[in-house]
Structure 1
């Protein structure tokens, strides 16, 4: 892969073809996509980004603005600095929600989402989601001294990441340690984003292809939310990822690659411009 470039958002670009921006979930980092990136790069120019306050990107500083507005601004600025005109986008969890927002704002040519956030039923359900991430971040912080030993075996990695994926044992020790450290590092941004959370309820122009895929064994955004997404986005393509958890990229590489390629298999449409009399 090419070396890391850091501007407003830390990122990597690899491959050639139609640009496909990949956005990780809350508390994660761009390396979440590493299991699938080389396969994708055979047919797409893949752009991996770290969200604000995550990975190697600068801290998340809301300054009193709604989180949605801040993240949209960061994404628009990133597209502009990278010369990306309505690229394809794909995201997992929070990244999926960002992809849907980008589609609603007509910033992208397609949006492919893996368990996108924003389809919980009520505040009780949202409290469950908040509790899951409170447990994950708290456990990650407490486990740091013993993490190298615990994550040295596939069984240890499977147990440590069992809430997020069904095959956490497939992670390498280095990837697992990096994800744990990344989760601890992202805790302030995670708490800020969750505090500003609200359901997704925006229309998306039918001309923008949208794909919504959900793991059948998602323990974070429970699969009932897939039914709510289907009702909210009837024009989208809705898929089930059998046997996959909330972060499915390691659970079924072939399936996730296929979903992302199919979802972004549409030529970019030029943004219309009009002369003002």
Structure 2
């Protein structure tokens, strides 16, 4: 491992088969950040600087996303299986427990890790898996449509990203304030979908819902954006399988992926959630 200085990025060599692409910044209690389907660790960039002032931040790429390879041998991409893969990654870093924070699928994985006893706290930003019954069909359809569209638009991503109207039309369902994204951030969002071979497997294996969380005994914070357009309150924000002490908070002006909508607010929520 090569360290670039206090509070800055540390470059980590690939040591084992349990390796996942990641970066580490800062000093303090460890905080592991887990992105959603079709995304990568880059989604946390707007909040990393603020978080790294108080925490050792570890932002990872899930298998088949970002710089993490696809696992072989027909490995499952269910949230539970992905949680076990992240647990092995944490073992490789010498972390028995860590504060965990995740967006969408990453929030579900964080809750699964808490069930495994690997969490010091959990903060879920628009966590998936809290639907009433099985996953609503429109959720899988929305992500599948985005995957197909971004693959078709791949060569033209730069052009689409440069036009504010096209940008809002294409990624507006994921962000509360899509016009705030820069062209680079929009391209990264599009590349996250068409450059992630794990997306179809997650959509295939990620059915069902999160169960068995009422006995989680660490602090849990759940935050949904007021402009959430994917995981709607009437279908996808069920509280019955989370512990009674869960803190539920709104994110004004934010959508499904809030880190770009209001970086300061999101960073403060993550710091507060990992301080309880």
TM-score w.r.t. length of structure 2: 0.88
Structure 1 equivalent of residue 3 of structure 2: none
2:123 is the alignment partner of 1:112: yes
Rounded to whole Å, the distance in 1 between the matches of 2:73 and 2:227 is 33
Question: For the residues of structure 1 that align with 2:144 and 2:74, how far apart are their CA atoms?
Answer: 23
Aligned pairs (5 A) from 1:18-29: 18-29=29-40
Shift of the 231–206 alpha-carbon distance from structure 1 to 2, 3 Å rule, reads closer
C-alpha contact 1:214 1:226 (8 A) present in aligned 2: no
Q: What is the DSSP-based 3-state SS (H/G/I as helix, E as strand, rest coil) of the residue aligned with 1:89?
A: strand
Is the 1:20–1:87 Cα contact (8 Å) retained in structure 2? yes
RMSD: 2.0
SS of 1:228's equivalent?
Answer: coil
Cα 1:215/1:265, change in 2 over 3 Å = same
| Cα shift at 1:61 | 3.8
Asked if the contact 1:13/1:47 (under 8 Å) is kept, the reply is yes
Equivalent in the alignment of 1:275: none
Q: Is the 8 A contact 1:206 1:235 kept in 2?
A: no
1:231 and 1:73, CA in 2 relative to 1: closer, same or farther beyond 3 A? closer
Within 2, Cα distance between the matches of 1:252 and 1:109?
25
Distance 2:146 2:37 in 1: 11
1:199 offset after TM fit, Å?
0.7
* Structure-1 separation of matches of 2:248 and 2:219: 11
| Greater Cα shift, 107-116 or 171-180 | 171-180
What SS does the aligned partner of 2:185 have? Answer: helix
Q: Which residue in 1 is equivalent to 2:252?
A: 242
Structure 1 residues not aligned, in runs of 5+: 267-277
**Equivalents in 2 of 1:69, 1:199: separation in Å?**
10
Alpha-carbon offset, residue 156 of structure 1: 3.5
CA distance in 2, matches of 1:58, 1:64: 12
Cα distance in 2, alignment partners of residues 92 and 234 from structure 1: 21
Matches within 5 A, 1:1-277: 1-2=8-9, 4-5=11-12, 7=14, 8-61=19-72, 63=74, 65=76, 67-123=78-134, 125-186=135-196, 188-196=197-205, 197-225=207-235, 227-229=237-239, 232-266=242-276
Query: Helix, strand or coil: the match of 1:22?
Result: strand
Partners of 1:236 and 1:264 in 2: CA distance: 13
> Secondary structure of the residue that 1:148 maps to in structure 2?
helix
Residues 114 and 216 of structure 2 are in contact (CA less than 8 Å); yes or no, is this contact kept in structure 1? no
| Deviation of the 1:232 alpha carbon | 4.0
* Unpaired segments ≥5 residues, structure 2: 1-7
Deviation at 1:97, TM superposition (A): 0.2
CA offsets per residue over residues 97-144 of structure 1, 9 Å max, x none? 011011111101000001111122244x52111100111111111212
